[in-house]
Structure 1
């Protein structure tokens, strides 16, 4: 509900003379909670005078307080963007000015303007979210979560229950969705919630509920001087911003999934887990993503209710697509284990990344790779080259044992896994198969092969890769007897994409 006419303050903010330069080019854009005014090299963010089930900006004082919270909270991740809070006051002669001695009329957050084409939603549409950028983003989010303040007040389940209650109210008042759609979605959300109450509370006790971003979708991430930067976090409600770290991450994963970028979502998910041990919460992710999709559904529906004509129709269709995605994410998906083996240069890791999003519940399989485990054992980054002794048999045996343990934990948590290693020894292939048997999940073993010349060529062309394999390593592997290979053998000689497509077809066949 709109509680105050803001035409006067908007006229003030969009007047070039208010900013001391009559030649300024000014334009605005709107969200469901704010009006953004672009003024030269600066941006001013005005909060709408609204009272909704989840936010109250009904008075100038409330909006001023929200601006101060926004500045403080967003400086955690984007100090270079957030400049100041500016009060707009009405003077004795009736004029509006910035930071005058008169009565408070409204307030804005002043920000440094950045290139809007660097917003991640636009980069996604243009196909410019590269693996390098997404890997850096995942690391930034993981480190932000590690440093975020832990909140031990209240249980994890109570927080999500409050979100679901508010969400149901918001879906209803939007006037966009059919009652049957709302009933089906909310019933399924509450059913999934009931299944996860104990885990939600356990994670809260373990300190996984923190003062996070709260609104971590693609449009709230941008590249600033080439670095992924999180901005515009939830400031108006501490409860909405204080959440399980995986629920915070789930908004980004859902947003990518909604755009048809499921493989990118899986990459972010895996690189995030490389830095944070959140395996115990993996079974929550499809539910968390569904909740996030339902939130986007009601937010977009609210925008549609304020629009007219074709814009209203387009926004309503988008809102309905989010609701449909939420229902798909809540549908049961079987857990399974896929192991991908083959000599160095066959493209195992590339194939694993290409198919992982299709395996198990959203956002796809946790890829457990021997190369990355080996690097972690030595406390170095995935791209750091290790000395030759790091590849001695005794070290490799410890790496494979750690890989097997990690896969077992992932499967036991109710999530799919891809085991990525050479697997040129029969005992290691047997061990990974036994884990699937013991955890009661379907298993598919894939053996990639290619001509020796191609293997040599591929390893020679590698750069910035977690694998340290050289031509000499390939020669040693070729000379070794791999024993009987019972796994499905797939020719990776042509392209890795072709091999991935072949495997995807195999995995699509129902297990018998």
Structure 2
């Protein structure tokens, strides 16, 4: 880890917290803060930075914003914010939390929220439900209805303010062209935002007239939502700059909607938005949703990029932040595409289709429609339940396979009809099955891409052998592979290019994703 400030090094010692007796103190970092976790409490100490849009450069300012953080966050998380604690150097020269001495800094103290209730953790462990996101939507609808509006706040919904914020995003992300996004992505995003603002000025004015510009949370994503029994705590709102908190409620809802897409859960995103619209009555939100989702994805990408230049962030974390930034830029790119996309994988079992499909789902906000999951769901089985059978028998009989493909196409049709994009994750060995998928895309005005996955036979067999020892939704094995290899009909429906890409899954999944995304812009 890079060299830490003296204050943080001192407070990492468990002996600093005699009333809590922690075994260890965990350190988290954002671009603007250090957060110390003791198990019972979390202590947030601002970094002495001045980034233009945020200024924590003086002790007085860090105290002021600490006090403001308490007031603002008690709106949506009243029971968790304890108070502001001075960090002092006592008369013996020791740094400590509270007590007499020279004040070096201030820490916002809050009850440490349980990891098991964090929305991002629930997403990662596949335990977030539609009922839970619907409850968040209702809480936000009530919060927005009560939040301050009018006067100075309304100015932040104006075309000039929104244009200025977008221009700033591009200027601050420009240095990362070639690292976190391509020049083509940058140019496509810039062109989209310029066109949208030019074409929808009246719509934005109507949002002001309709009292949709409010004093919001400003940073509504899954890492800031905690479920603790029946209580929902939405914390860590933006306090450092009012212009990032004041804004259209549609932008706030688009933020969490985008984040659900980034976690590969476009299904939960639909539930969240639908419930918010129902609870708030704001049906006009839909016309702004993708615009604000792209805007919010761009902001998240930009913020991740900032960590690449932070001297306190380790090389390992910088690598993770770069991958995060690329993912958000890809998602922003997906939102601005003029038509829905239907991706169709093809390739024999074990060639890496599902791994690539899952990663594309997160990068492009897709509905992931898996043949393995669909087949078992139709049979009343949990996806992880093994159901091995000889080729063409049991769950893999021609009748069950036809039923599976029909169900997948039916689900994809519903997604495309709603203007959404999807990926069909299956072998698609037969031309007829691929033709049916291509016909479906054409029926709904979607653009289709066949993703032909190839892998050398030795690596393919090695992967299948490893799969037999691991939990998997797939029942693929060497025997199935041998039969499929003989029956795979060449994918020659579309010429290789924008609508037909050949992927060598021996390469990293990150490289495979880059190859596909580069074809979209």
Which TM-score bucket, shorter chain as reference? 0.5 to 0.7
Between 1:61-70 and 1:498-507, the stretch displaced more is: 498-507
Aligned residue runs from structure 1 range 37-116, under 5 A = 37-91=36-90, 93-100=92-99, 102-116=101-115
Query: Distance between the aligned counterparts of 2:195 and 2:295, measured in 1?
Result: 12
Q: Deviations over 1:50-83 (max 9, x none)?
A: 1113211111111111111111100001111111
Which residue number corresponds to residue 411 of structure 2?
Answer: 500
Distance 1:30 1:146, change over 3 A: same
Q: Deviations over 1:72-123 (max 9, x none)?
A: 1000011111110112234455443444454431111100012112211111
Query: How far apart are 1:174 and its partner, in Å?
Result: 5.1
1:509 aligns with 2:442: yes
Which residue number corresponds to residue 123 of structure 1?
Answer: 122
1:16 aligns with 2:14: yes
Which residue number corresponds to residue 251 of structure 1?
Answer: 255
Query: How far apart are 1:22 and its partner, in Å?
Result: 8.9
Query: Distance between the aligned counterparts of 2:247 and 2:13, measured in 1?
Result: 40
Equivalent pair of 1:214/1:234 in contact (CA under 8 Å): yes
Equivalent pair of 2:156/2:243 in contact (CA under 8 Å): no
Distance 1:168 1:511, change over 3 A: closer
Distance 1:23 1:98, change over 3 A: closer
1:170 aligns with 2:172: yes
Distance 1:511 1:85, change over 3 A: closer
1:260 aligns with 2:264: yes
Query: Distance between the aligned counterparts of 1:263 and 1:319, measured in 2?
Result: 23
Query: How far apart are 1:325 and its partner, in Å?
Result: 1.2
Q: Which runs of 5+ in 2 are unaligned?
A: 341-360, 368-402, 416-436, 446-521
1:317 aligns with one of 313, 320, 323:
323
2:203 aligns with one of 199, 206, 209:
199
Query: How far apart are 1:218 and its partner, in Å?
Result: 0.6
2:223 aligns with one of 215, 219, 232:
219
Query: Distance between the aligned counterparts of 2:137 and 2:286, measured in 1?
Result: 16
1:329 aligns with 2:335: yes
Query: Distance between the aligned counterparts of 2:444 and 2:110, measured in 1?
Result: 55
Which residue number corresponds to residue 140 of structure 2?
Answer: 141
Q: Deviations over 1:411-455 (max 9, x none)?
A: xxxxxxxxxxxxxxxxxxxxxxxxxxxxxxxxxxxxxxxxxxxxx
Equivalent pair of 1:203/1:281 in contact (CA under 8 Å): no
Distance 1:174 1:89, change over 3 A: farther
Distance 1:76 1:105, change over 3 A: same
Distance 1:497 1:62, change over 3 A: same
Which residue number corresponds to residue 308 of structure 2?
Answer: 304
Q: Secondary structure at the match of 1:46?
A: strand
Query: How far apart are 1:239 and its partner, in Å?
Result: 0.8
Query: How far apart are 1:6 and its partner, in Å?
Result: 6.5
Query: Distance between the aligned counterparts of 1:119 and 1:140, measured in 2?
Result: 16
Which portions of structure 1, spanning 4 or more consecutive aligned residues, are displaced by more than 6 angstroms?
A: 495-498
Query: Distance between the aligned counterparts of 1:199 and 1:94, measured in 2?
Result: 60
Q: Secondary structure at the match of 1:122?
A: helix
1:277 aligns with 2:281: yes
Distance 1:279 1:13, change over 3 A: same
Query: Distance between the aligned counterparts of 1:267 and 1:24, measured in 2?
Result: 40
Query: How far apart are 1:247 and its partner, in Å?
Result: 0.4
Query: How far apart are 1:201 and its partner, in Å?
Result: 2.2
1:208 aligns with 2:212: yes
Which residue number corresponds to residue 483 of structure 2?
Answer: none
Query: Distance between the aligned counterparts of 1:104 and 1:32, measured in 2?
Result: 23
Between 1:178-187 and 1:54-63, the stretch displaced more is: 178-187
Query: Distance between the aligned counterparts of 2:7 and 2:54, measured in 1?
Result: 21
Query: Distance between the aligned counterparts of 2:84 and 2:316, measured in 1?
Result: 36
Equivalent pair of 2:264/2:366 in contact (CA under 8 Å): no
Query: Distance between the aligned counterparts of 2:181 and 2:264, measured in 1?
Result: 25
The two structures have a TM-score, normalised by structure 1, of 0.63
Equivalent pair of 2:409/2:440 in contact (CA under 8 Å): no
Query: How far apart are 1:507 and its partner, in Å?
Result: 5.6
Query: Distance between the aligned counterparts of 1:303 and 1:105, measured in 2?
Result: 25
Q: How many residues align?
A: 358
Equivalent pair of 1:290/1:327 in contact (CA under 8 Å): yes
Which residue number corresponds to residue 132 of structure 1?
Answer: 131
Query: Distance between the aligned counterparts of 2:411 and 2:229, measured in 1?
Result: 35
Q: Secondary structure at the match of 1:55?
A: coil
Query: Distance between the aligned counterparts of 1:155 and 1:303, measured in 2?
Result: 27
Query: Distance between the aligned counterparts of 2:339 and 2:19, measured in 1?
Result: 59
